[in-house]
Amino acid sequence: MTIDELKKYCNGEFSNINRIVDELYSVYKPDRTEYPVAEQAAIAAFLINIYSGIENILKQMLKFDKLDVGNSPDWHEKVLRKAGEIAILPPDLIQLLSKYLAFRNYFLYTYIFNIKWDDLKLMVDAARDVVNNVQSEVEEYIQSI
């Protein structure tokens, strides 16, 4: 993969992620305090989609840098750890994304009605800023290659 192909890939992924962010905020309204279970499930799925897109970008960047994390059981955590080690993302953003990964893992193995709305709401409120910060850091990193 060339640097131009990496840029094109990342731009495409961010375009998809931003589309999902728009969909998320078409369902979620900060002033609403209650959502039916179906809407909570949609909101959670959008969050997972956003995180997965970010993870795809990071994984591709690591592959570009010849740091393939493989398909081991803990590859998701390795992606974040390696992205921090080679300074694609700063530690505070890695820590924040770790919460999204933990939510993703929890969501896969629980019923939606077991998810606490207040926990979900915190991640939703931060989602747009998280995406913007990741995009900025990724673009800055790519410029340094």
Q: Which residue has the tokens 């970008």?
A: 57
Q: Which of these, 56, 27, 51, lies nearest to 123 by C-alpha position?
A: 51
What's the pLDDT score for residue 70? 76
Query: Does an H or E element contain 42, and which?
Result: helix 37-64
What's the pLDDT score for residue 69? 80
What's the pLDDT score for residue 71? 80
User: Residue 120, Cα to own-chain centre: how many angstroms?
Assistant: 14
Q: For each of the chain's 145 residues, which pLDDT tens digit applies?
A: 899 999 999 999 999 999 999 999 999 999 998 999 999 999 999 999 999 999 999 999 999 999 878 787 889 999 999 999 999 999 999 999 999 999 999 999 999 999 999 989 999 999 999 999 999 999 999 999 8
Contact, 24 vs 124, CB < 8 A? yes
Contact, 112 vs 41, CB < 8 A? yes
CA-CA distance, 93 to 52, in Å (whole number)?
15
The pTM of this model reads: 0.94
CA gyration radius, the chain:
16
Query: How many residues can be counted in the chain?
Result: 145
Structural domains in the chain, CATH included, are 3-144 (1.20.120)
Q: What letter represents residue 89's amino acid?
A: L
